[in-house]
Amino acid sequence: MAMKRKTLRHYESRAEIAKALAHPTRLLLLDALQKSETCVCDLTDLVGADQSTVSKHLAILKNVGLIACRKEGPMSFYRVTCRCLDGFFTCIETVLKANLDAQRAAAGV
């Protein structure tokens, strides 16, 4: 990797956020948290994985600043911290739709 160091760091910090977004379970979590602040136990039920797995996914999202945590008694409530996620989701949906269209066109429909 001979990329200029400054440039490399620039893209590395951005890729770290993108990596946090690059997992189906974390996308599901973000979708849920965008609708409403939710505790870990409810999120665990929603995802259907081990509670420790969900906690780790939440930690990944939190570490890059996408979500934040509020403690209430023994429970942790997570919420989305940025209002910019729609820009990301819209982009993904656009690409998906374009792929579907291209697929249909290739099939000659």
What would the DSSP string read from start to end of 64-90? Answer: TTSEEEEEETTEEEEEE--S-HHHHHH
Residue with tokens 């579907």: 100
Nearer of residues 36 and 101 to its own copies, judged by Cβ: 101
Nearer of residues 39 and 85 to DNA, judged by Cβ: 39
Nearer of residues 75 and 100 to its own copies, judged by Cβ: 100
In angstroms, the CA 88 to CA 28 distance is 14
Q: Tell whether residue 79 is a contact of its own copies (CB under 8 A).
A: no
For 109, the 3-state DSSP assignment is: coil
Which H or E run includes 33? helix 24-35
> x-or-dash pattern for DNA, window 26-55, by CB under 7 A?
-------------xxx--x----xxxxx-x
Residue with tokens 């849920």: 32
- Given the rule CB under 7 A, which residues bind DNA? 1, 19, 22-23, 25, 39-41, 44, 49-53, 55-60, 69, 71, 73-77
- Given the rule CB under 8 A, which residues bind its own copies? 1-4, 7-8, 11-15, 17-19, 21-28, 31, 47-49, 64-66, 81-82, 84-96, 98-99, 102
